[in-house]
Amino acid sequence: MEASAKAASTVALPEVEKEHGRGHIGLVVLSSIAGGLILGLVLVLVVFAGGREDVITGAALIALAFGMLMLVALARRRTDQPQSWALAPALGLAVAGLALLILGPSDRVLGRLGWSGRSCSHSLSSGRCGVPAAPCTTGRVERFSIRHSPSWRSSL
């Protein structure tokens, strides 16, 4: 009797399989968003408070890049679901943010960059990447608002 009780106490319990890996990706994403948001608020409201548009925009882009880099690093360390896709946009945002901070483009240059960004994003979203934009055929209201908007005339 004593031997069977002793044998039962030394038998190892089977390990339960983990279904979710090491950590929860939702917490990693949430902490990355919170980290980027906090850094963005500190940079915009404290460090560069009252700065020009290019400085504020550059600081916001750097904060967003920091949040995405945090996502890459924390997901790699804490979970079994690495988010390495976020590395390329993070580096692109960081380069754009640093360029705005270092180069300090004028309002006219920023306006032109904004207009070219809108037309490029329109081309990408319509599935015509690299193809010159065709006349808008989606409706009269959209064509009217694009042609007669004040920003359209001032960017020429």
Mind listing the pLDDT tens digit for each residue in 8-21?
556 655 554 455 45
Calculate mean pLDDT across residues 59-80.
95
Calculate mean pLDDT across residues 81-88.
93
Per the structure, the complete domain to which residue 110 belongs is given by: 106-156
AA identity, residue 29: V
Q: Kindly report the pTM of this predicted structure.
A: 0.61
Nearest to 98 by CA among 62, 49, 53: 62
Assigned domain for 93 exists:
yes
Examine the domain organization and report whether 68 and 96 are in the same domain: yes
Residue 86 token pair: 């976020």
Assigned domain for 50 exists:
yes
Mind listing the pLDDT tens digit for each residue in 16-46?
445 545 788 999 999 999 999 999 999 999 9
Examine the domain organization and report whether 111 and 152 are in the same domain: yes
Examine the domain organization and report whether 50 and 77 are in the same domain: yes
The answer to whether the CB of 62 falls within 8 A of the CB of 94 is: yes
The pLDDT value recorded for residue 144 is: 47
Nearest to 64 by CA among 87, 85, 94: 94
Mind listing the pLDDT tens digit for each residue in 93-147?
999 999 999 988 877 777 777 766 555 555 555 555 454 545 555 544 444 445 5
Examine the domain organization and report whether 71 and 145 are in the same domain: no
Q: What is the count of structural domains for the chain?
A: 2
